[in-house]
Structure formats: C-alpha cells, structure tokens
Amino acid sequence: GKKSPPIQVAIVGLGYSGVELAATISERLKNTGTVKAINFQTTICPNAPPGNREAALKVLESQNIQLFLGYSVNCIREVYASEDSGSMVADAKVGGDDKKLVLELQAAQRGLQSQVLEADLVLWTVGSQSQILRLQPPDAPYVIPLNGRGQVETEETLQVKGHPRTFAIGDSAALRDPSGKFLPANAQVRHLLD
Ligand SMILES: Cc1cc2nc3c(=O)[nH]c(=O)nc-3n(C[C@H](O)[C@H](O)[C@H](O)COP(=O)(O)OP(=O)(O)OC[C@H]3O[C@@H](n4cnc5c(N)ncnc54)[C@H](O)[C@@H]3O)c2cc1C
C-alpha cells in the first residue's frame, strides 16, 4: 500500500512535562515522524537548575527535535488538507484523517518573526500559567478551551474536550478526581498518569 507520510507532533511548552515528552516521542518515532517543540522563553525548563537545563537541551538537540524558542502559541486552527491541490483550507467541519492542525506562533522576544507550523497532533504542556499574548477571536474555527483557572478541560484520555488531536498534559490539564474535585498541579499527580 501507500506509505503513510511522516507524522508531525507539536509540543507547546517546554517545562518538565514538555521536555520529557519531546525526548520520549522523538525516540519512539525514529524516522517515522518529526517533533516540533515550542517554548515561550528562549530557554527550556526556565525554573530548573542551569545544569539540568543544559543537559536536557543537549538531549533534545541530539534527537533532531526542531526547537522554536521565544514564541508563544496563541491560536491552533483545524484545517482540511485538500488532496487534489495539496493546499490547506481552513474548515472546522471536515471530518476524516485529512485534517491537520495549524499553530500560530507569535514572537515573544524581540528580533523574532511570527511563524505558522503544521502538525497532526498537538501536546499542550504550558503549565498552570499559559502565556497567551493575544486572545483568539471568538469566531476562530479552533479555540484553546481554557477554563476560569487557565487550564484545559480534558477527557480521561487527556484529549482536549471536542478536539481529539490535541492533548493537554502536566499542570495545564484540569484534572479532577472521581468526585469532580480538582487534583493539585504537582509531580505526584502527573506521575499517576504515566
Ligand atoms: C514555587 C513552586 C514550587 C513547587 N514545588 C513543587 C514540589 O516541591 N514538588 C512538586 O511535585 N511540584 C512542585 N511544583 C509544581 C511543579 O513545578 C510543576 O508541577 C511542574 O513544573 C509542571 O511542569 P509543566 O511542564 O506542566 O509546566 P511548567 O514547568 O510551568 O512549564 C510550562 C512552559 O510552557 C511555557 N508556555 C506557557 N504558555 C505558553 C504558550 N502559549 N506558548 C508557548 N510556551 C508557553 C512556559 O513559559 C513554561 O516554560 C512547584 C511549583 C512552584 C511554582
């Protein structure tokens, strides 16, 4: 049969969760896909001790992960990859496997140009305080669904409600216990999910 095209995975936020995911996913994908990783700061794990940060950066660079540092992801749109022209058409209503996600990266640092990235899957790991510089217009075809706490409501699978190709992981996911109470944002809870 037809060889499937390489899968493109975008990871938004490079704190502890994003870094761990980027390294693990790129290792598993090998040559079958690419990982693009975006962080607001020009560094990764901004709160980690410098030695740990440098070691983690070396791992990411050695695995051919495409790093976009100094960018904020403000908007994710669902688009339909039209087969005949190969062009991308924004359309939130199209089903099937032809859908792609388009991420708008806004420069968070001077001297950088805004960019647009394409992905098949998005992992949203922006922590408990997402840095969204410009809110999406309310009529945008795809909205990052933040609740009043700035977190994302997910299914038990961590898939963002209504958006199965986007997963919220780490402190950015609003996790509740079976009684509906929010679980705390800490490493213990995160590891329960691993
Ligand atoms: C003071 C303090 C003490 C803590 N002590 C403990 C402890 O003792 N034990 C424990 O288990 N946990 C502790 N925690 C919690 C722990 O730090 C978090 O659970 C952990 O950092 C979560 O990792 P994360 O990757 O989900 O998010 P983060 O580490 O917050 O990383 C998210 C990254 O995404 C970036 N980002 C945000 N928005 C965007 C955007 N729109 N586009 C691109 N990038 C974006 C951020 O700038 C950041 O770099 C503590 C937290 C704090 C604040």
pTM listed for this prediction: 0.87
- By the 8 A CB rule, do 88 and 80 touch? yes
Q: Which atom from ligand 1 is nearest to the alpha carbon of 169? A: 26
Cα dihedral value 106, 108, 109, 110, nearest 10: 50
Q: Hey, which of 16, 41, 72, 74 would you mutate to test ligand 1's pocket, going by the most ligand atoms within 8 Å of its Cβ?
A: 16
Check if 136 has its Cβ closer than 6 Å to any atom of ligand 1: no
Joined together, the tokens standing for residue 174 give 């609003």
Classify the C-alpha dihedral 109-115-116-119 as positive or negative: negative
Where are the domains positioned within the chain?
Answer: 7-192
The tens place of each residue's pLDDT in the chain, 194 residues long, gives: 567 789 999 999 999 999 999 999 999 999 899 999 999 999 999 999 999 999 999 999 999 899 999 999 988 888 877 644 444 445 444 445 677 899 999 999 899 999 999 999 999 999 988 887 766 666 665 667 677 777 888 888 999 888 889 999 988 888 878 888 888 777 777 666 65
Q: Which atom from ligand 1 is nearest to the alpha carbon of 15? A: 31
- By the 8 A CB rule, do 53 and 30 touch? no
Contacts 24+ apart (CB under 8 A), 140-145: 140/75, 140/77, 141/77, 141/78, 141/90, 141/91, 141/92, 142/75, 142/76, 142/77, 142/78, 142/92, 142/101, 144/75, 144/76
Joined together, the tokens standing for residue 27 give 């290792």
- The CATH class, in words, for 7-192 is alpha beta
Q: Which atom from ligand 1 is nearest to the alpha carbon of 41? A: 47
Q: Hey, which of 17, 52, 175 would you mutate to test ligand 1's pocket, going by the most ligand atoms within 8 Å of its Cβ?
A: 17
